[in-house]
């Protein structure tokens, strides 16, 4: 599963880099009643937290990444 997570992480980071700064504050996901913006997702993904795995899977399911 680590290979798939790494692939999603790389895909997320490529998409994040292309998002205009003004849009990075936009909410892209609600997880456990907590809004997740591009910036929050970036922090979670770069720190490789447990929550980042869930975020990446949800964004993939929603075809955002």
With CA atoms as reference, report the closest residue to 7 among 62, 53, 38, 40. Answer: 53
pLDDT confidence bin for 1, thresholds 50/70/90: low
State mean pLDDT over 43-63. 96
* Residues 6 or more apart whose Cβ sits within 8 Å of residue 40: none
Looking up tokens 């770069």, which residue turns up? Answer: 46
Strand partners, 36: 29
pTM for the predicted model, two decimal places: 0.91
pLDDT digits (tens, 9 = 90+) for 2-27: 788 899 999 999 999 999 999 999 99
Residue ranges of domains in the chain? 2-61
Residue 44 has pLDDT above 80, yes or no: yes
DSSP secondary structure of 9-64: HHHHHHHHHHS-GGGTTSEEEEETTEEEEHHHHHHHHHTT-HHHHHHHHHHHHTT-
């Amino acid at each position: 599963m680590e290979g798939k997570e790494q692939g999603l992480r790389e895909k997320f980071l490529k998409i994040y880099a292309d998002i205009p700064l003004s849009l990075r504050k936009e909410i892209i996901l609600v997880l456990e009643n907590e809004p997740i913006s591009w910036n929050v997702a970036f922090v979670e993904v770069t720190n490789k937290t447990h929550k980042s795995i869930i975020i990446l899977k949800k964004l993939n399911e929603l075809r955002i990444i």
